[in-house]
Amino acid sequence: MSTAEMTGAQMIVQALKDQKVETIFGYPGGAVLPIYDALYGQNDIKHILVRHEQGAAHAAEGYARSSGKVGVLLVTSGPGATNAITGLTDALLDSIPLVCITGQVPTHLIGSDAFQECDTVGITRHCTKHNYLVRSIEDLPRILHEAFYVAQNGRPGPVVIDIPKDVQFARGDYVWPRHVEHRTYKPRLEGDAAQIERALDLMATAKRPVFYTGGGVINSGPEASKLLRELVALTGFPITSTLMGLGSYPASGANWLGMLGMHGTFEANHAMHDCDVMINIGARFDDRITGRLDAFSPGSRKIHVDIDPSSINKTVKVEVGIIGDCTHVLRAMIDQWKSRKLMADEPALKDWWKQIEIWRGRKSLHFKNSTSVIKPQHAVRRLHALTRGRDTYITTEVGQHQMWAAQHFDFDEPNHWMTSGGLGTMGYGLPAAIGVQMAHPDALVIDIAGEGSILMNMQEMSTAAQYRLPIKIFILNNEYLGMVRQWQELLHESRYSESYSHSLPDFVKLAEAYGAHGIRVSDPADLDAAIQEMIDTPNAVIVDCRIDKLENCFPMIPSGKAHNEMILADDADLELEAVIDAEGRMLV
């Protein structure tokens, strides 16, 4: 433990250094001026000046997700804090570790409706894993380090530290505990051995098993992905993953079924529906995954590994719940499988794979390509093909393009796919790409975007310009809020209420206005050249890729339906409105 006398603002910078933080994203204002002063003239921490605090939060998320470290943002009181709320909520729902430092009016003014005062801890109580209002300088060092501990231990999440300006100016003793142990918060890492034994009993006798994995595997670190691959190889079981878990098992792997859920593959969803043993590792039975709950995988016995005890039995009852970190539990599973010399039921598994091949034969991701108009699926596939072999990171916005990216860009590594899953935040992808590029300066970082979403945080192109970040924005421009239009076709007899993207800017000129390179492509024959030009351009690029305006995203489990009631592209010509019943219409 080291002690030194300094101001609160200096303590903040010192604590960031001690936590090995290299990059922070932020925006200054009156209530954080002392902290900005402490940042001035030092070189250990690089501050990225965003153009909107929401951008800072998403950039910190992209940084955290792609690097496995805690993302840090620094914003001022009042509007600075409220602008960051969407990003904090996004991080809460996707379990991303963030530390957000907010300035606050001086302690003696709190509660007086002072200029740029807001009740930051009150407002963020519901969208953070934990938050602190620092009332005295004595508490500051402990809280700073505790915040990093809480953000990254257990189920990761965002933590807010609200620091009044007088506390930033006050002098006190800075202590760095080095080893933080929280009084109450001690998440459990090792799974219960007896439960793991029961899980393996189920797995060894399973006739129709399936692994269903999620973002928890990614959050647990790269080791978890390695172990997952080993366990899949050892058992020979098929594996599917949620949107959040893509990349933990390679899409090129033999046992890969594709993503599951609302826009998942036919084989993945049918395997989930018909399996007899489901092994959920680090996923949470989200409603985008389960579809209609009372028809969800009715004949299976379920194993659920999760670090958050509240996730187990929350919506779906399981037979074996294992509370623990994926890395630890997967390792224990592999060790036991080997030491007990367990074997999968090979003949049964062979039949199961035969059935899966039949489902695969349905080719649910198939689409009719065209020579006259660029199909979005084709564009994503070409993006994947032309970037293969490079260290490529993909972020997305939210909508149809996001689902096409998830379906058609085959991810082989964890931490290379950044998307807003739980909250579904349009405007996530561009700032997230900035965060990813900061963490991986030499990588190719592409935001697969929609023309609607990209405008939500377009101002961050200016940030990219300032720091010469060569991010690539690939807009699948259908001139529609496409996912909204698709649901209007499904639910509201194609009355396209406010879902047309009117008065779009000229994205090529917009790119140029931001000092970036703009490319427009609308002829399928020019697509590869446009993508290659994007890749070869050393600075930031916006590609305005004009795609088929009315393409819809399939396959799809309509709301209120079960996994085996999917609709596919080739039966999508049937009356879509007839597919969803009254109850399904109520759902989102």
Q: How far is the CB of 293 from other proteins (least distance, A)?
A: 4
Q: Are 101 and 72 in contact (CB under 8 A)?
A: yes
Interface residue with other proteins among 178, 179, 183, 354 (CB under 8 A) is 183
Q: Should residue 293 be labelled a site residue for other proteins when binding is judged by CB under 8 A? A: yes
Q: Which residue in 129, 165, 472, 561 is the catalytic one?
A: 165
The C-alpha angle with vertex 135 and arms to 129 and 140, in degrees rounded to 5, equals: 70
53 is catalytic: yes
Of 27-35, 63-71, 177-185, 420-428, which segment contacts other proteins by CB under 8 A?
177-185
How many Å separate Cα 56 from the centre of its chain? 16
Cα–Cα distances (Å) from 91 to 64, 419, 427, 513, in that order, read 10, 11, 14, 31
Q: Which of these, 231, 223, 315, lies nearest to 279 by C-alpha position?
A: 231
Where helices occur in 153-211 by DSSP H, the ranges are 165-169, 193-205
Q: Are 201 and 230 in contact (CB under 8 A)?
A: no
Q: Which residue in 14, 53, 375, 451 is the catalytic one?
A: 53
Interface residue with ligand TPP among 225, 453, 552, 559 (CB under 6 A) is 453
Both tokens of residue 124? 């963020």
Q: Should residue 87 be labelled a site residue for ligand TPP when binding is judged by CB under 6 A? A: no
- Please provide residue 378's backbone torsions phi and psi, each rounded to the nearest 5 degrees: -65, -45
Contact pattern for other proteins over residues 114 through 153, marking x by CB under 8 A: -------xx--xx--xx--x-x--------------x---
Q: Which residue in 438, 456, 461, 483 is the catalytic one?
A: 483
Our CB check for ligand TPP shows the closer of 57 and 483 to be 483
Interface residue with Mg ion among 450, 470, 524, 558 (CB under 5 A) is 450
Of 145-153, 183-191, 423-431, 569-577, which segment contacts ligand TPP by CB under 6 A?
423-431
Q: Which residue in 5, 20, 42, 115 is the catalytic one?
A: 115
Where helices occur in 76-192 by DSSP H, the ranges are 79-93, 120-124, 140-152, 165-169
* CB hemisphere CA count around 42 (13 angstroms): 17
Rounded to an integer, what distance in angstroms lies between the CA atom of residue 249 and that of residue 260?
13
Q: Which residues contact 455 (CB under 8 A, 6 or more apart)?
A: 505
Q: Which residues contact 312 (CB under 8 A, 6 or more apart)?
A: 304, 306, 318, 321, 323
DSSP secondary structure letters along 535-566: HH-SS-EEEEEEB-TT----SB--TT--GGG-
Q: Should residue 488 be labelled a site residue for Mg ion when binding is judged by CB under 5 A? A: no
Of 47-55, 88-96, 446-454, 514-522, which segment contacts ligand TPP by CB under 6 A?
446-454
Q: How far is the CB of 126 from ligand TPP (least distance, A)?
A: 18
54 is catalytic: no
> Per CB under 8 A, which of residues 300..329 are in contact with other proteins?
301-302, 308-310, 312-320
> Per CB under 5 A, which of residues 455..484 are in contact with Mg ion?
478, 482
Q: How far is the CB of 504 from Mg ion (least distance, A)?
A: 10
Interface residue with other proteins among 2, 5, 108, 185 (CB under 8 A) is 185
165 is catalytic: yes
Cα–Cα distances (Å) from 530 to 136, 517, 523, in that order, read 57, 12, 10
Q: How far is the CB of 420 from Mg ion (least distance, A)?
A: 16
Cβ neighbour number for residue 40 with a 10 Å cutoff: 9
Rounded to an integer, what distance in angstroms lies between the CA atom of residue 359 and that of residue 363?
8
Q: Should residue 570 be labelled a site residue for other proteins when binding is judged by CB under 8 A? A: no
Burial bucket for residue 190 (CB in 10 Å: 0-12, 13-18, 19+): middle
Contact pattern for other proteins over residues 270 through 289, marking x by CB under 8 A: -----------------x--
Rounded to an integer, what distance in angstroms lies between the CA atom of residue 214 and that of residue 244?
6
Q: Which residues bind other proteins (CB under 8 A)?
A: 121-122, 125-126, 129-130, 133, 135, 150, 182-185, 198, 202, 287, 291-294, 296, 299, 301-302, 308-310, 312-320, 559-560, 583, 587
- Known catalytic residues are 53, 115-116, 165, 483
Q: Which residues bind ligand TPP (CB under 6 A)?
A: 397-401, 424-426, 450-453, 476, 478, 480-484
